[in-house]
Structure 1
Amino acid sequence: MTAEPAAAVRPRNRKQLIVEAGATVFSERGYHAASMEEIAAAVGITAAALYRHFPNKYALFAECANVMVDRLVAALGEVPPDAGLADVLAAVTRVTVAHRAAGGVYRWEARYLNREDRRVLRAKFAQVVGRVADVVRREYPLPDEHLRAVAALGAIGSITMHHNTIARRRAETLLQASALRVVATDPVAARAGARLVELPARPVPRTRRSEILAAAIPLFERDGFAAVTNGMIAEAVGSVPSALYRYFPGKADILAAACLQAAGLLAQAVDHNLRGVTGPHDALAVLTATYVAYSFEHNALTSVADAEIIGLPAGLRRPLVAAQREHIAVWEQHLRQARPELDGRQARVLVHAGFGVVVEAGRRLRWQDSPEHRAAVAALLMSALDL
């Protein structure tokens, strides 16, 4: 006689498993593209069972948004108060690399969390930044310790924003060293050696299609991609919603077209500014100045793109990813020439770390564009690359 199979036992940590799976799915698919059914399947339960723990997708997302920062707060709580900067950054790096698949959720927090949930989350991040900044101030008494702290955390957190494969220990070593170099950089002293670069002028909207692109991005940045309607875009260009379909099949196509246009401007700027440059170090200085200038001038679009591209349909996302890879390949080539001890994976991870520095430092500076801010962020990026 065959024994009856034992009844399935509900794991005691089911809610934790749901949050882990949800954070990963949200990171990989984006808030709006992710579904409760998809998350439930990742846990091996039904959607009905998932709803017993979370009444809706927002409630689950709000909890997922806190996963990484709660881990960071807990990890730093275990580091002795008098520990050195290397130990503090090592704790942050271990947690971030170990949970990189779920760490990208924070990129959407400002857009999709309500005001109170956003306030709570930002207070937790401020606690992490404050702990790092305190040690930075003690060990490297230079100006703008909070700027250097958030830039270093941006270098570490960059591992959550891409899918380049690299062994965990190698990633930790690279990112911790990068962050340590960033916090040791004097952003004020960097102003004297700032490099000037040129960017192509923003296209002047001369057609209805270009007018739509120019009007849509500020709306996406202000209200969030999902909240903006075709009616809002049409009103901004003095048209009716149905007229938009003559130029774009849908709202996602507008975002993709704007991102491709911006990628083209960046590629033009890189090609122009690299002309006549000899030597990998000079080339990387030019790439850095160009990327920082581009990030300040196009911060509205880049902030929207960082949050929304991941949720675009594959057909629209593919050319954008290809353009990004082409840009990173230029960095990788010059970085490996400047630092021949790096292999391709290490170089790409460091390039993304530099981009993470720009994002977080730019946010800290509220993207207020000035030669001083550009020079400071460029110096921090160069330090992240060990140049």
Structure 2
Amino acid sequence: METVNTAKSRRPTRRPRDRKAQLAAVAAELFCARGYHEVGITDIAAAAGVTGPALYRHFADKQAILAHVVLSGIDELIATTQRALDDADKPAPEQVDALLARLATMSVDHRDVASLWRWERRNLSPEHQREVRRRSSVLIGSWSAALRTLRPELDERDADLLCWAALSVFGSTTVHSTRIAKRRYTKLLIACARAVLHTTLATSPGLTATQEAARESVFSRTTRKDELITAASTLFQDRGFHDVSMEDIGSAAGISGPSVYRHFPSKAALFMAAAQRIAQQLEFGRLAVVRTAASEHEALRGLIASYIETMAGSADLMTASSQVSALSEADRAELKRVQRDYVAEWTHLLRAVRPTLGVAEGRMVVHMTLTIANDVVHTGRLAGRPNLHAELGTIMAVALGLPR
């Protein structure tokens, strides 16, 4: 009896067949909660209940885990798209509606994957970044082809723009913590994305007086301090906060690294200054709108113009601040307050135009709209469009549900 029991106790434990996926899911949760650079292999192993060597049997390093999570997420989007669009029993409009419904559910249920794609993909190796771009192009290509079946008047470039904007609507789930019932949230996402896909793009950049005033409120400076802020903003956008040094910032601004410290005591202080400059520009735009707008509808269009001009020349640091662990809790809280107040102003105006929206619903629609601008102005393949700002303004107005 004892011999039999001993043999049973030594029987090796069978590994789960999906261990790699389980480890990736644990890592994704940690990356989202703490940020990629604040999580180590030992943290992931401990959270998953395995040893470090056991984790290395599945992944070469932490970067490989991030690549697996991000690329698997894109693959799932591609597979979901194919399943929806390959349903030959449905006409094209119903196929697209089915696709939007599936993507809305995915974006609400799996915010962690979308969050890592948005904030952490710059930490991938150059090879993996190229692969992300390639697979993203495959995804947008599938959407674009389906959209042009519905709207044959669109050329490929216009269809691509609208598809990127629609993808941003679903990506907006990662930039806020507002919560409403899942069914209602998915309905809002679907309605916004559908409206974006059916946008008639602007053919001329004509602006109202309010929009002109809002655009003119965006200013540029030429002091050494502002040159450093501009250089830092660009580098933070391209590489991420952790992979930029003070020497890099100084070199981009044309001075030595140690000279940067004459203006800013730390890299975190530079990040904070850059985020505060964005907040100041947005506030100037808001004030210009308040002075000139004759209605809530006109005020929202003025805010759209101001936001596009500001974000076109700035990194999305206000939202990204939650990913920078070097910021103090006080600084992080201040930036969050500024962003919350700014979104609240949009929400107040939007609910005046669309009174059936609740406060939380209005806030979500505003986040969808702002995320479109944040993404589109920083998408390289769209940057060459000569009328992009006017087109983007039209898309954002449609996303808000403003009357034509």
Q: TM-score, normalised by structure 1?
A: 0.87
Is the contact between residue 23 and residue 65 of structure 1 (CA under 8 Å) also seen in structure 2?
Answer: no
Q: How does 1:171-320 map to 2 (within 5 A)?
A: 171-189=185-203, 191=205, 195-196=211-212, 197-206=214-223, 209-237=225-253, 239-298=255-314, 301-302=315-316, 309-312=322-325, 313-315=327-329, 316-320=331-335
The superposition leaves residues 137-168 of structure 1 with CA deviations (integer Å, 9 ceiling, x where unpaired) of 11123431111111111111211232222222
Secondary structure at the aligned position of 1:275 is classed as helix
Q: 1:359 aligns with which of 374, 386, 391?
A: 374
SS of the residue aligned with 2:36?
coil
Q: Give 1:192 shift.
A: 5.2
Contact 2:161 2:382 in 1 (8 A): no
Q: Which residue does the alignment assign to 1:119?
A: 130
Shift of 1:352: 1.1
| Count, aligned residues | 380
Deviations 1:53-76 (A, max 9, x none): 223211111111113212212222
Q: Tell me if structure 2 keeps the 8 A contact 1:296–1:367.
A: no
Deviation digits for residues 22-68 of structure 1 (CA, Å, limit 9, x no counterpart)? 22332343322333344334434444543332232111111111132
Deviations 1:299-323 (Å, cap 9, x if unpaired)? Answer: xx22x66556512334232222221
Alpha-carbon distance change, 238 to 136 in structure 1, aligned in 2, over 3 angstroms: closer
Q: Return the letter of the residue paired with 2:116.
A: V
The CA deviation at 1:272 is: 1.4
The residue that corresponds to 1:55 in the other structure is 60
Which residue identity does 1:279 align to in structure 2? S
Moved more, 110-119 or 65-74: 110-119
- 2:141 maps to amino acid: G
User: Where do 5+ consecutive residues of structure 2 fail to align?
Assistant: none
> Measured at CA, do residues 241 and 328 of structure 1 come closer, stay the same or move farther in structure 2, by a change above 3 Å?
same
Structure 1 residues 361 and 228 mapped into 2: Cα distance closer, same or farther (>3 Å)? closer
The structure whose RCO (Cα within 8 Å, separation 6+) is larger is 1
Q: 1:360 to 1:244 in 2, by over 3 A?
A: closer
Task: Indicate conservation of the 8 Å contact 1:274/1:286, yes or no.
Answer: no
Q: Who is 1:16 aligned against?
A: 21
Shift of 1:225: 3.2
Could you tell me whether the CA contact under 8 Å between 1:231 and 1:241 is conserved in 2? yes
Quote the Cα distance in structure 2 between the aligned partners of 1:35 and 1:344.
39
Q: Normalising by the residue count of structure 2, what TM-score does the alignment of the two structures yield?
A: 0.84
Q: 1:355, 1:8 → 2: CA distance?
A: 50
Q: Partner residue of 1:131?
A: 142
The CA deviation at 1:282 is 1.7
8 Å CA contact 2:35–2:323 kept in 1: the answer is yes
CA distance in 2, matches of 1:124, 1:269: 37
Q: Aligned partners of 1:252 and 1:15: how far apart in 2? A: 36
How big is each residue's C-alpha offset from its partner over 1:343-376, in whole Å with a ceiling of 9 and x where there is no partner? 1211111111112222333326543585x21111
- Select the residue among 333, 348, 351 that pairs with 2:348: 333
Computing the radius of gyration over CA atoms, which structure comes out larger, 1 or 2?
2
Q: Give the CA deviation at 1:331.
A: 0.8
Aligned partner of 2:394 in structure 1 is: 379
Q: Distance in 2 between matches of 1:66 and 1:57?
A: 14
What's the CA shift for 1:378? 0.9
Where does the alignment leave 5 or more consecutive residues of structure 1 unmatched? none
For 2:391 and 2:27, the matched residues in 1 are separated by: 37
Gap change, CA 1:348 and 1:43, over 3 Å in 2: farther
1:171 and 1:376, CA in 2 relative to 1: closer, same or farther beyond 3 A?
same
**Aligned with residue 72 of structure 1, among 65, 77, 86:** 77
Cα distance in structure 1, aligned partners of 2:196 and 2:400: 9
Paired-residue identity, %: 30
Could you tell me how far apart the structure 1 residues matched to 2:174 and 2:161 are? Answer: 20
User: Does the CA-based 8 Å contact 2:215-2:305 persist in structure 1?
Assistant: no
